[in-house]
């Protein structure tokens, strides 16, 4: 989602195009998330700083930002790794909106990086990585969407090259990042104006049987020399978007 609004800046370093806007940045107490939050604050945004284990660092960071511009940073602590990640995501957005009465930007930065060799991977590893890296961003977007629509706001999801290139033994992490890339593409289409059939060369929606046929082919001896690639069963839509 993008407002498409333009702005002018006559003096480098003085742009405040985010003045009056509110950004929620997950995992913003440390590392990249902190840098992103600081940059947004510099451009006028009020910041909701999400943290989990790093609450002391988050509070110190918020105090630093508030010393520059009063009442411009607020900390919310939430553990996005738990089984109640959907409810936690809803609470996080609800509290973020309550602070300044609006939400203009959601930055899904929080993530965890963990080696999980196949012979050592556990259900806990899978859930831990997927909850933070994939499930939480998805349901944060779901919770934030109504508020973002009101102000023609934006969502930014962070991924990395491991979402496109495998790097054993980080298979679960790579899978989570590949999935968030697809979530980004998919929800961009869902939340933005789209005319799907008019953009499909075959001019019709696909069927479950056609997808099943592709699966049967990939599982058959006829596809014995196909690996690491896929078949795009989309009526030609991918060539026109």
Examine the residue annotation and report whether 225 is marked as an active-site residue of this protein: no
Q: Cβ distance 108 to 160 under 8 Å?
A: no
Residue among 115, 97, 212 nearest 168 (CA)? 115
Q: Which residues are within 8 A (CB) of 51 and not within 5 positions of it... i.e. 6 or more apart?
A: 27, 28, 29, 57, 58, 75, 76, 77
- Greatest pairwise CA separation for the chain in angstroms: 67
CA 72 – CA 69 distance, rounded (Å) = 6
CB atoms within 10 A of CB 92: 24
CA 85 – CA 225 distance, rounded (Å) = 40
Dihedral sign from CA coordinates of 137, 142, 143, 144: positive
Catalytic residue among 113, 128, 173, 225: 173
CB atoms within 10 A of CB 217: 12
> Which are the catalytic amino acids?
173
């Amino acid at each position: 989602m993008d407002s498409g609004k333009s702005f002018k800046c006559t003096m480098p370093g003085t742009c405040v195009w985010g003045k009056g806007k509110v950004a929620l940045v997950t995992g913003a107490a440390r590392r990249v998330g902190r840098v992103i939050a600081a940059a947004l604050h510099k451009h006028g945004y009020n910041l909701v700083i999400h943290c989990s284990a790093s609450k002391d660092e988050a509070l110190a960071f918020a105090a630093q930002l508030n010393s520059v511009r009063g009442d411009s940073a607020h900390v919310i602590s939430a553990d996005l790794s738990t089984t109640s990640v959907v409810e936690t995501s809803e609470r996080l957005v609800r509290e973020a909106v309550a602070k300044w009465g609006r939400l203009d930007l959601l930055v899904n930065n929080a993530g965890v990086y963990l080696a999980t060799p196949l012979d050592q991977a556990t259900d806990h590893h899978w859930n831990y990585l997927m909850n933070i890296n994939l499930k939480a961003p998805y349901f944060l977007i779901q919770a934030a969407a109504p508020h973002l629509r009101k102000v023609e706001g934006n969502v930014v999801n962070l991924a990395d090259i491991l979402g496109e290139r495998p790097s054993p033994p980080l298979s679960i992490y790579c899978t989570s990042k590949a999935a968030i890339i697809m979530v980004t593409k998919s929800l961009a289409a869902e939340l933005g104006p789209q005319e799907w059939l008019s953009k499909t060369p075959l001019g019709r929606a696909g069927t479950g049987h056609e997808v099943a046929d592709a699966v049967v082919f990939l599982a058959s001896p006829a596809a014995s020399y196909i690996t690491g690639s896929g078949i795009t069963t989309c009526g030609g839509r991918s060539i026109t978007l």
